[in-house]
Structure 1
Amino acid sequence: MSSGYGLSGGQSRCFPFWQELLACYVVNTTTDDDSGKKKCLPALEDYYECLHHKKEAAKTRALQAAYRKALLAHPRGDPPKPGAIRNLGLLDAEEDTKAVLEASK
């Protein structure tokens, strides 16, 4: 939050970026001339990134896409067999159930 108070009552995570942005505006603009705002675009961009994480999310999506592409290009050499999946109770559950019931008799 730009108020400076976070959810737990302390300083919010983006408050230092907000202070930097305000300091840039104070130094580079006056009431008569707003042309100095262009100098503050990097600080504004940093503040928006802190708030919304757009660049970080795009980077994560790109890494995930590259990982999926690499997996498709080089498939796994030893995929799990249906017998191994049975341990999770997903396949052939009837046989496991019969084996458990016979053992308990």
Structure 2
Amino acid sequence: MSSGYGQYGGVGRCFPFWQEVLACYVVNTSAENDGAGKKKCAVALEDYYECLHHKKEHARAVAMQAAYNRRGATSGDDTPSASQIRNLGLLGKEEDTKKVIGES
């Protein structure tokens, strides 16, 4: 919320973005420029809305999932299993890491 308090007390997740938007409006708007200064704050406002709603992040995740599904449908047996991916970089699991990276 723009009150500055988060769900569990303390500073809210998006409050710093809201402060940035307000600071931009204070600096860039006046009675003389008839709202032309508000256009300068579009980037800060877009960041604030993204923090609130995560629309770009969600769209990116959907696109990545679709690309992964397309790749999975066209690839052969060389696709690493989920357990191999989970084991990347773990001690004693070097064989799985080599299979995923493609080293022999």
**Is TM > 0.5 for Structure 1 vs Structure 2?**
yes
- Percent of pairs identical after alignment? 65
Structure having the higher Rg: 1
Q: For residues 67 and 15 of structure 1, what CA distance do their matches in structure 2 show?
A: 35
Q: For residues 76 and 58 of structure 1, what CA distance do their matches in structure 2 show?
A: 29
Q: Which amino acid in structure 2 is aligned with residue 23 of structure 1?
A: A
List gaps (5 residues or longer) in structure 2.
80-104
Instruction: Please identify, of 59-68 and 27-36, the stretch whose mean Cα deviation from structure 2 is larger.
Output: 27-36
Give the structure-1-normalised TM-score.
0.69
Q: For residues 77 and 48 of structure 2, what CA distance do their matches in structure 1 show?
A: 42
Per the alignment, residue 13 of structure 1 pairs with: 13
Per the alignment, residue 63 of structure 2 pairs with: 62
In the TM superposition, what is the alpha-carbon distance from 1:42 to its structure 2 partner?
Answer: 0.2
List gaps (5 residues or longer) in structure 1.
79-105
In the TM superposition, what is the alpha-carbon distance from 1:18 to its structure 2 partner?
Answer: 0.1
SS in structure 1 at match of 2:11 = coil
Query: Is 1:51 matched up with 2:58?
Result: no
Q: For residues 66 and 77 of structure 1, what CA distance do their matches in structure 2 show?
A: 17
Per the alignment, residue 97 of structure 1 pairs with: none
Q: How large is the RMSD of aligned CA atoms in angstroms?
A: 1.6
Aligned length: 78
